[in-house]
Structure 1
Amino acid sequence: MQHTQQDNYTAPPGSVLLDARLSAGKSVGEVADALNLLTSHVEALESNDYSRFNSPMFARGYIRSYARYFGLDEAPLLNDCERICRRDDEQAEKKRPQAKIHAPGQAKLLFALLGTLLFWGISYLLFSGHSSPELDVSLMEDRYVPLHELRAQPSLGESLLKLPEAEYRAADPQLYHNASLRLVFNEDVWLEVRDAQGAVRLSGQFAKGEQRQVSLQGPVQLALAYWPAVDIEYNQQPVDLDGLAESNAVRVQIGEL
């Protein structure tokens, strides 16, 4: 569905999305169903209220899906979203009470403590040699089922992402490493987790509010029916799929470089 507005939008992102929906004669519920979103998320996007989301990352992913659905240029909308998020953060920072040091002795003690911590931190980085490995997150081949067929299936996520057993291959043994995967579900989501050898370690539908921690051998293969609704940590490092995934349903491999 193409939209006739120019790429350089003069209105906030929410107004552009609202105008596109009304011009197409779509209701909030219809858009929510088409994009697999909550109606409250659609309303929040159209009112530029990103405080309803756990992080700006989710807002950007939702705006991208909304824009593509109506054929809008997503780049200026995402730029405006970033600007609004920065403005909200700056306003929140200004409202935050600042600590005051009333006595000169307290100031000296504080500076001495900060100096000690800075010296310790630099020494640790120079001599310990133990820095957190960089994560490697790569998109794997997707196989999608037509939407009208998916809606007839009992499990949307499993129908969307589950591939034949033969297509799962073990990783190169030279890449094996111990891994800890932490998942926090902000909406109901179907997922599947496989270890470095391709064995299923976690699979099924998980409810909003659930958390799971899995210790396994990496790199791991992760299939998600709706990645924006899941917070992912791999070896205590956050995994950000924004900018990598072009749809809400993805299969990725996560490991250490």
Structure 2
Amino acid sequence: MSIGNSPEDDRPSVGRALQQARIDAGLTVDEVSTTTRVRIPIVHAIEQDDYSRCGGDVYARGHIRTLARAVGLDEAPLIAQYDEEHGGRPAPTPAAPLFEAERIRPERRRPNWTAAMVAAIVAVVGFVGFTLFSGGGKSGTPVAGRDATGGASEPVTKAPADKPAKPTRPRPEPSDSAIAGLPKDKVTIKITARDGQSWISAKDANGRLLEDGLLRQGQSRTFTDKKRIDLVLGNAGVVQLYVNGKEVKQVGDKGSVERLSYTPGDPQAG
């Protein structure tokens, strides 16, 4: 009795499927690279099932999704096949600790205004109490006395005590979204890998490459151009992005590849 190959054994590899779909669509590697912003050497490597240039499984999945959309393939079966051939997708992090971390993190950065106001009130009450105590209970009522000859002297009026100084309110720290000092006729981009590492690519309005490589956690890059800056962000969910001094709140999800473009008038919604 002979045993035939299963349908899964006959299916092409992920890279071969992407390459064949690109050829069937009449696209060159250069055209796919221009459309997806995935570098030409990486496109060639993925079509040969070489993912060593991607920088890890997270980036490899992101590139596969991007290339699949560009050549008209369903990305889900390709991602599932990639995970099957490379040890499976890592177990997701439990949601509760992530949400708790997100809830706690911003609270540590807020000034404790309640404590500052309580301290100011205590200082004022202490100052007033000290002033009253040091006056020895003497009032400012005029007191008639007698001079050396026995005659009545002019009443002596006690000078009123100085009024307690008003507490000085603590000045709030400048917010992260402050844009003072930035040039109005340029676009300024600041990227920080806040919660993990990210692959980034940045080009100016003339297509000149400003940055292309891995941004490790905690590292930042700043770019400036007079007209436009085009970005490609891998693992976009870990990135903190400022455009012209204003934070872009929703850059993307962890593991996703986002292509963004900004001008001096941005950020714009979406």
TM-score (norm 1): 0.41
- Larger RCO (CA under 8 A, 6+ residues apart): 1
Q: Which has the larger radius of gyration?
A: 2
